[in-house]
Structure 1
């Protein structure tokens, strides 16, 4: 290990992605231990991990908040973010992926690709983040590298490039064969470092066969490798390494390694693969942003104008800590920077190299660095910070709309003000949480991505602020959609109360976008104008569209947002003096509301894909319980003495399901759920929603 030079080519910004319980945090802990960043192995079950430092994370044994750490390996600085695996905290993954250059996807050698694995993989696809795969838990009973790799190919639709062959199975797993260099890597009991040696005789023929398969697969995908393969019928280790690097960074293939993080076997080769195959900030395209409505690029160059993206804010007892990815330029302690979104300037107080909840102060951060900054007062997650003389707005991470809500109230009137301040601080840290006041009941409503998400948020307020909080039953965020529309609805907006009047005349057609659009897109709305002869000027057409969008906030069935409809402006009329954009916006709003009352509407509810893994003898009871919860089973798969049942279940029916499943399976059953969209509510359950808190 060498001290890394401060250049963008020797930096790796890396995320650890996986399904819950695949071993992400253990992999992170072993990386820190192997690189010398820590001197003791942290264990999830003991609550001694570096990245899961929050009391709730240690109590629950899961990662809740993405945590950044830094270490060095082979002359490279590795900035590593351990992300949550539970679907309720997928927004943390989204914000992390926005600032990463590469990722390690961790899969369980027994379970292979699981539902949340697919979700985070799609998120990484969206951001174009190159990945390598680490098949973990090779020491588990039922571990099977080939089966895990097959699930990667089938469910993720990628080309796996397996570069290792395990030595030993299950509890006898003791090392791997490096297929690139055709050597054995062996970890002896009680030793942290591996030993290299010749490939064991009993594995030699299989290793040769797999090396040949790897060469053929790489030659099919890489022109330079194909040229050498055609000339010599083989690939050298150097050519294979270079081709694997190009294929990984280009997304044409995914390098696959294996090991057991808990036993500290396979971590050094994983780090070598990170350095060899994943890109540095200098290898990825320049970041793109907007400046005065024009697209501008900034290279990862320390001498370029400064630009960085804030992706996380922690409100600590000693002040606000803002996590920042520097994309270009250099940021120094004491600099004045511009928040490009608000136009406000901020002063950089201290710059910290992050080690989860511990920090080391540095004087500057350059392009490619991920650091924390102290002293920023108004910066939010998603804000762009840049040089005042070279403003640039970078695309912020997307925040998903919340799907579950609870009413919260202070234990006493004296604590109401403290609760409001605590909730505001909570939302500042986690933009996927929304706090609002219900206009009908006056209750404070906290909305988030799932039952666990809200449970964690409320508990955090209780622990951090010592507040007594009452919490109502969770409610889901319903939507309304059009089943049968109306044509030719005429609305005239006329207002005359002295001075200039208001006049707008519109004719609207309203129709459904379609069941698929309405069920799958919480924001499905289309607007077009079919007005001819200039009867409604273009600026008024835009005002009508804005008014229609205003009307989507509350539907006629229960005041829920409306989705899945197309509105066509077919005709209209203006007044030479009294028509205005304000009048036509009001006409669009009130006209669409009237049209929705005349249309046939349908209530929608969020649904989730649930994967329940239970012992074979408990499958019948679980299937019956899912049916009682209005679940539709779509498939099942056998897994070494257990069965994984996949079903689509209304999200509202999943409240309290974890404890119910435990009682039905004597604690042996587990489940995961991810929200997949919206579906129509059957007539009987819809009738029971009359008193539901609007979502």
Structure 2
């Protein structure tokens, strides 16, 4: 059976979920089309999603399409839930990127398209809402070319835009299509130049379009309306003819990726996994999470014709729900690990402390937050045992409201939050090295560890290397050092995550296994992994001290449109918020400002904008980069570890002694 795992992506309110409903109805998978406003769509199943009218969690539905099974994944469009999109991208064969014919290309649209092109995921564009007042054709196509990609092929023409009778007539302009396709096909260009009249037939153009779309070189553009159904049949033809089917050998080694985890009615974990190779069967025992755990698959369900059905096995190419993997996490490999695991989007840039409401059971709150973090690892719970506080990472204020409502609705836990603060990072300024030797000076650990910290290119993350021989001591000790390095770098000199650096192990040593006569292993005379885990933070922090670190705060790029006569009030307000306009332009009576603003001030800018612009201002923003903090005091973050910055305090916490 041919399979296609298809993602529906868009900026919020572009009409993804409505398009999903229309597609399911068009192929006969559902009898009635659900409505986002009515809260009865197939993919927005959470009560909170239906109440707010937005998609919060990715959802999978399936339908048949001319002998092919399509697993369609509806994803959130709001930027606060970009982590849900990130988890889905790695399991897709193709994407439909939805753009509004009224609002056009928006901030999140650009972020998504940039990522899809970088990952070379075959993508069709669907310009939705042609029946809405203000719908545009030529202007939207120009914006797509200018702001998303010039490699587009319009797949037809539109008529009666902005009315309920708006229509889309399929049929790409051969000349326009040839102009784009020939950029990637020398043979096609040569044939055209040799005989423009007859050499390039419609069949050849269609074959070239399909081949280049599947290679993510060009992107067909359809127009239509999810509400009226205009253009949807043409889009389905594009999905069938232009996007690639899933590959993978069902007889190969079992290999899959978990992209979603939820809790079943009895509180059991249910993992959503895409299988890339092999066939996984119920009652199979399988490794998962880079061999972190192993479990027996107790049940399997697959998506079929709009429903979920139990199966005894799931082959390569399919998406399944798996029961029985009790410790599974999002991102885990099932069976043989696959290459990859890189981040596609920026991590959360905000943080807030959870405040239990009156009478709230702290243990129940801890359980609830832990289960939420299982479903969204980027919430990144941060427990402070000293202050008895828990902080969560966020993308924005809407996500905070959703977390609060989820805790109340699903767990019966009442919470509020402290003021949201930016999540900064630290980057090394220079190079620093430190070493402590086994049984020398005041080292209380039976271990030798030497580390050097070097700056690395922006965006490179953390790389761990070794200048010592791997056979110089047991591998478990090297692994203990690397794990401790990565854990310690979660809190640098100022308490922020340290990134974009290379840490090199320069010295190693240990005390071999010792035992007394007629007795077993003597831990007091022999090195253990605990020695290396205990010593590494002290050495690494000292190396960081010598290298120095600089705190960087998250910045968002923004585009602000407002009446020209309000710019006089806007510009001082932007300056007071730390925003820096880079470009200013006017279009008739509208002024357009583009620039950067600290992530921590975006919400305040959103709140103040209506009053500054008579309610006519429109703001779009997205994370751009981390920039050095150059104003005011350097922001610090309270530590939640054993504080290796203070050797005496650290050793008292770890060993209950202050020296060797």
TM superposition score normalised by structure 2: 0.81
Q: 1:371 aligns with which of 310, 316, 320?
A: 320
Matches within 5 A, 1:118-517: 118-171=110-163, 174-180=166-172, 210-222=173-185, 225-226=188-189, 229=192, 230-231=194-195, 233-234=197-198, 235-282=200-247, 286=248, 299=249, 301=250, 303-318=251-266, 319-332=268-281, 334-341=282-289, 342-353=292-303, 359-362=308-311, 364-386=313-335, 392-395=336-339, 397-398=341-342, 401-412=347-358, 415-483=361-429, 493=437, 495=439, 517=457
CA–CA distance in structure 1, aligned partners of residues 138 and 551 of structure 2: 45
Secondary structure of the structure 1 residue equivalent to 2:632: helix
Secondary structure of the structure 1 residue equivalent to 2:575: helix
Secondary structure of the structure 2 residue equivalent to 1:78: strand
Conserved 8 A contact 1:352-1:373:
no
Partner residue of 1:195? none
Partner residue of 2:497? 561
Partner residue of 2:520? none
Conserved 8 A contact 2:556-2:623:
yes
CA–CA distance in structure 2, aligned partners of residues 121 and 610 of structure 1: 17
CA–CA distance in structure 1, aligned partners of residues 395 and 44 of structure 2: 20
Per the TM alignment, residue 257 of structure 1 is displaced from its structure 2 partner at its CA by 1.4
User: Residues 4-58 of structure 1: CA distance to partner in whole angstroms, max 9, x if unpaired?
Assistant: xxx02xx221111122222222221211222222222323233332222322223
Partner residue of 1:79? 71
Q: 1:280/1:471 Cα in 2 relative to 1: closer, same or farther (>3 Å)?
A: same
Secondary structure of the structure 2 residue equivalent to 1:421: helix
User: Residues 292-319 of structure 1: CA distance to partner in whole angstroms, max 9, x if unpaired?
Assistant: xxxxxxx2x4x44543322111214344
Q: 1:494/1:396 Cα in 2 relative to 1: closer, same or farther (>3 Å)?
A: closer
Per the TM alignment, residue 435 of structure 1 is displaced from its structure 2 partner at its CA by 1.4
Q: 1:639/1:260 Cα in 2 relative to 1: closer, same or farther (>3 Å)?
A: farther
Secondary structure of the structure 1 residue equivalent to 2:104: coil
- Please report the RMSD computed on the Cα atoms of aligned residues, expressed in angstroms: 4.0
CA–CA distance in structure 2, aligned partners of residues 632 and 618 of structure 1: 17
1:683 equivalent in alignment to 2:631: yes
Conserved 8 A contact 1:605-1:679:
yes
Per the TM alignment, residue 266 of structure 1 is displaced from its structure 2 partner at its CA by 0.7
CA–CA distance in structure 2, aligned partners of residues 565 and 350 of structure 1: 42
Partner residue of 1:193? none
User: Residues 189-229 of structure 1: CA distance to partner in whole angstroms, max 9, x if unpaired?
Assistant: xxxxxxxxxxxxxxxxxxxxx43222343344335644654
Per the TM alignment, residue 330 of structure 1 is displaced from its structure 2 partner at its CA by 3.8
Per the TM alignment, residue 646 of structure 1 is displaced from its structure 2 partner at its CA by 2.7
User: Residues 339-373 of structure 1: CA distance to partner in whole angstroms, max 9, x if unpaired?
Assistant: 343351322324142788x6344555433222323
Q: How many residues align?
A: 618
Unmatched segments (≥5 aa) in structure 1: 1-6, 181-209, 287-298, 387-391
Partner residue of 1:205? none
CA–CA distance in structure 1, aligned partners of residues 491 and 608 of structure 2: 35
Conserved 8 A contact 1:219-1:226:
yes
1:63 equivalent in alignment to 2:55: yes
Q: 1:45/1:637 Cα in 2 relative to 1: closer, same or farther (>3 Å)?
A: farther
Q: 1:245/1:344 Cα in 2 relative to 1: closer, same or farther (>3 Å)?
A: same
Q: 1:511/1:436 Cα in 2 relative to 1: closer, same or farther (>3 Å)?
A: closer
Q: 2:597 aligns with which of 642, 645, 649?
A: 649
CA–CA distance in structure 2, aligned partners of residues 522 and 457 of structure 1: 31
Secondary structure of the structure 2 residue equivalent to 1:393: coil
Secondary structure of the structure 1 residue equivalent to 2:86: helix
Conserved 8 A contact 1:522-1:677:
no
Q: 1:57/1:223 Cα in 2 relative to 1: closer, same or farther (>3 Å)?
A: same
CA–CA distance in structure 1, aligned partners of residues 85 and 277 of structure 2: 23
User: Residues 551-584 of structure 1: CA distance to partner in whole angstroms, max 9, x if unpaired?
Assistant: 534333x3223345567889x8989999989889
Per the TM alignment, residue 102 of structure 1 is displaced from its structure 2 partner at its CA by 0.5
Q: 1:112/1:500 Cα in 2 relative to 1: closer, same or farther (>3 Å)?
A: closer
Per the TM alignment, residue 323 of structure 1 is displaced from its structure 2 partner at its CA by 1.7
CA–CA distance in structure 1, aligned partners of residues 255 and 270 of structure 2: 18
Per the TM alignment, residue 81 of structure 1 is displaced from its structure 2 partner at its CA by 0.8
Conserved 8 A contact 2:350-2:394:
yes
CA–CA distance in structure 2, aligned partners of residues 542 and 71 of structure 1: 46
Conserved 8 A contact 2:445-2:534:
no
Per the TM alignment, residue 414 of structure 1 is displaced from its structure 2 partner at its CA by 5.9
Unmatched segments (≥5 aa) in structure 2: 513-524, 642-660
Per the TM alignment, residue 88 of structure 1 is displaced from its structure 2 partner at its CA by 2.0
Q: 1:617/1:579 Cα in 2 relative to 1: closer, same or farther (>3 Å)?
A: farther
Q: 1:462/1:169 Cα in 2 relative to 1: closer, same or farther (>3 Å)?
A: same
Q: 1:363/1:672 Cα in 2 relative to 1: closer, same or farther (>3 Å)?
A: farther
CA–CA distance in structure 2, aligned partners of residues 593 and 499 of structure 1: 15
Secondary structure of the structure 2 residue equivalent to 1:654: helix
CA–CA distance in structure 2, aligned partners of residues 242 and 28 of structure 1: 27
Secondary structure of the structure 2 residue equivalent to 1:170: coil
Per the TM alignment, residue 268 of structure 1 is displaced from its structure 2 partner at its CA by 0.6
Q: 1:347/1:626 Cα in 2 relative to 1: closer, same or farther (>3 Å)?
A: same
Per the TM alignment, residue 176 of structure 1 is displaced from its structure 2 partner at its CA by 2.8
1:26 equivalent in alignment to 2:18: yes
Per the TM alignment, residue 261 of structure 1 is displaced from its structure 2 partner at its CA by 2.2
Conserved 8 A contact 1:69-1:79:
yes
Per the TM alignment, residue 632 of structure 1 is displaced from its structure 2 partner at its CA by 1.4
Per the TM alignment, residue 417 of structure 1 is displaced from its structure 2 partner at its CA by 1.6
CA–CA distance in structure 1, aligned partners of residues 70 and 389 of structure 2: 46
CA–CA distance in structure 1, aligned partners of residues 322 and 478 of structure 2: 46
CA–CA distance in structure 2, aligned partners of residues 510 and 542 of structure 1: 18
User: Residues 480-500 of structure 1: CA distance to partner in whole angstroms, max 9, x if unpaired?
Assistant: 3344667xx776546469999
1:99 equivalent in alignment to 2:91: yes
Q: 1:221/1:442 Cα in 2 relative to 1: closer, same or farther (>3 Å)?
A: same
Secondary structure of the structure 2 residue equivalent to 1:683: coil
Per the TM alignment, residue 94 of structure 1 is displaced from its structure 2 partner at its CA by 1.5
Partner residue of 1:3? none
